[in-house]
Amino acid sequence: MQAVLILEDGTILEGEGFGAEGEVFGEAVFNTSMSGYQEALTDPSYKGQILTLTYPLIGNYGVNRDDFESEKIQVEGFAVRENCHKPSHHASNSTIDRFLSDQGIPGISGIDTRALTIRMRAQGTMKAMLKTSSEKIDTDGLVESVRQSPHITEMDLVHQVTTKELKRRDIGAKLNVAVLDCGMKLGIENSLLQRSVNVMVVPASTPAKDILALEADGMLVTNGPGDPTRADYVIKTIADLKEELPIFGICFGNQLTSLALGAETYKLKFGHRGSNQPVKDLATGRVYITSQNHGFAVDAESLDGTGLEVSHINLNDQTVEGVRHKELPIATVQYHPEANPGPKDSAYLFDEFIKVIEEEKK
C-alpha cells in the first residue's frame, strides 16, 4: 500500500502505507519517547494530530490491552521510520499494523522521521495530510487541500474525547474526587483509585452546581487536546468552583485553571512531547524527569493579579510547568505525574492533592 505525508509548507514524503486505507488531516507533531507508542496512540490529547515518533523502530513489542490510556486510538494518523511486522513480547496479542487497521487509522512508514522532526522544529508544527491507498497516489492539488484544512486552534476538540455521562468508581472511601474529563488518560483515574478515594468522572460540559451536587470534596481537571481557550465552558466551571473546592490540574488542566483565574496561554512553536523533559520545582530546587504532551503553555507574565505564582519551570526553555495559588487550595502541573517516566518521581503530587482535600474537609 502506498502512502504520502504532506505538510502545509509543500513538503511531500512518500512511503509505505500500513494500518487502514484512507485520508486524514491534522496537525503534524513529534514525540521523542523511545517506548510507549501504545500509550501515545491512545492518549486523547493527540486528538486532531498526526503523530510522528522520532525513535526509528516502532511496534517491536507489539500491542497489549493493558497499556491503553483510553478505549481507542486517538491520533488521526501515525508516521514512523520502521514498522515492525514481527513483534516479540510475551504479552503481545497484535501488531501495530493490525491495531491501526482495526480502528481505521492510516499509517506511513519508510520515511526519514528525523529529517521530518528537524523540519518541524525549524518551521513549527504544521497542518498536514496523511493518505494511504492501494493505488498510485496523485499528489496534484493535495498541498492546497492541506492549506485549506481547519487549524487545530479553530476547533473545540474536547467534546470529541470527553465522557458522555457520569462514571462513578465508588470503592467505599471517605473522600470523593470529581474528575472534570477533558480527555482523561486512564492512568490519572488509576492513580486516584490507588489512593483510596471515590472517583466521579464527569463530562467536560458539567456546570459547577452539578459537581457540587455530587458532594465532591475536590476536583481534578485532566489533560486534553487542542487550544484551551476553545473550551470556554470548562474555564467557566473552574472559575465558579475556585473558592468551593480544592483543585488540581494536569497538563491541559493546568492551562484551563490558569485561564479560569485570569491568566493567558499561548501556542508553543513545536510543543513538548516526550518522556524526558526536565522540570524544576522552584520550592525545593529538585529537578524531575517528566512525561509531557502539549502544544500550549501558560504565559508567566500574565499571572500578575491572578493570585497564581509559578511553581515549576521547564529547564529546556524556561516555560511554565506548574502554578500554585497563594491563598486558595489550587495547584497545577503541565506534565503527567501518572505517566511514570522517573518512574514514579512525580507520583507524590497525587498524595499532596489528597492531603490538601483532607485538610480542607477538616
Are the CB atoms for 192 and 172 separated by under 8 Å? no
The x, y and z cell numbers of residue 240, run together, are 465558579
Confidence of residue 348 (pLDDT cuts 50, 70, 90): very high
Options 8, 251, 294, 321, the catalytic residue: 251
Amino acid letter, residue 22 = G
What integer is the mean pLDDT of 261-284?
A: 97
Q: Is pLDDT above 90 for 154?
A: yes
Determine if the pTM surpasses 0.85.
Answer: yes
- Assess whether 89 carries a catalytic annotation: no
What is d(CA 282, CA 250) in angstroms, rounded to the nearest whole number? 18
* Per-residue confidence (pLDDT) for residue 301, from 0 to 100: 98
Catalytic site includes residue 135: no
Tell me how far apart the terminal alpha carbons of the chain are, to the nearest angstrom: 63
Task: Give the fold, CATH level 3, of 2-153.
Answer: Glucose Oxidase; domain 1 (3.50.30)
Q: Do domains 2-153 and 158-361 have the same CATH topology?
A: no
Single out the catalytic residue among 272, 294, 325, 336. Answer: 336
Cell of 278: 526536565
Residue 27: pLDDT above 90? yes
3-state secondary structure the chain: CEEEEEECCCCEEEEEEEECCEEEEEEEEEECCCCCHHHHHCCHHHCCEEEEECCCEECCCCECHHHCCCCCCCCCEEECCEECCCCCCCCCCECHHHHHHHCCCEEEECCCHHHHHHHHHHHCCEEEEEEEECCCCCCCCHHHHHHHCCCHHHCCCHHHHCCCCCEEECCCCCCEEEEEECCCCHHHHHHHHCCCCEEEEEECCCCHHHHHHCCCCEEEECCCCCCHHHCHHHHHHHHHHCCCCCEEEECHHHHHHHHHCCCCEEEEEEEEEEEEEEEEECCCCCEEEEEEEEEEEECHHHHCCCCEEEEEEECCCCCEEEEEECCCCEEEECCCCCCCCCCCCCCHHHHHHHHHHHHHHC
Residue 309 has pLDDT above 90, yes or no: yes
Distance, in Å, from the CA atom of 335 to the CA atom of 252, rounded to the nearest integer, reads 9
pLDDT score recorded for residue 343? 83
pLDDT of residue 341: 82
Q: How confident is the model at residue 171 (pLDDT cuts 50, 70, 90)?
A: very high
pLDDT number for residue 113? 98
The pLDDT score that the predictor gives to residue 342 is: 77
Asked if omega into 343 is within 30° of 0 (cis), the reply is yes
Class in CATH terms, 158-361: alpha beta
**Taking 90 as the threshold, does the pLDDT of residue 317 lie above it?**
yes
| d(C-alpha 244, C-alpha 37), whole Å | 39
Domain boundaries, the chain: 2-153, 158-361
Q: Is 251 a catalytic residue?
A: yes
Estimate the crossing angle of helix 232-241 against helix 252-260, to 10 degrees. Answer: 60
**For residue 229, what pLDDT is reported?**
98
- Across 212-222, average pLDDT: 97
Least confident of 9-13, 64-68, 145-149, 198-202: 64-68
**pLDDT at residue number 107:** 98
Query: Mean of the pLDDT values across residues 212-218?
Result: 97
Tell me how far apart the alpha carbons of residues 117 and 58 are, in angstroms, rounded to a whole number.
Answer: 16
| The three three-digit cell numbers of residue 286, written as one number | 529538585
| Per-residue confidence (pLDDT) for residue 79, from 0 to 100 | 98
pLDDT tens, position by position, 107-150: 999 999 999 999 999 999 999 999 999 999 999 999 999 999 99
pLDDT score recorded for residue 203: 98
66's CB contacts (< 8 A; 6+ apart) are 91
Mean pLDDT of the chain, nearest integer: 97
Whose cell is 497484535? That residue is: 94
| pLDDT band at residue 352 under the 50/70/90 scheme | very high
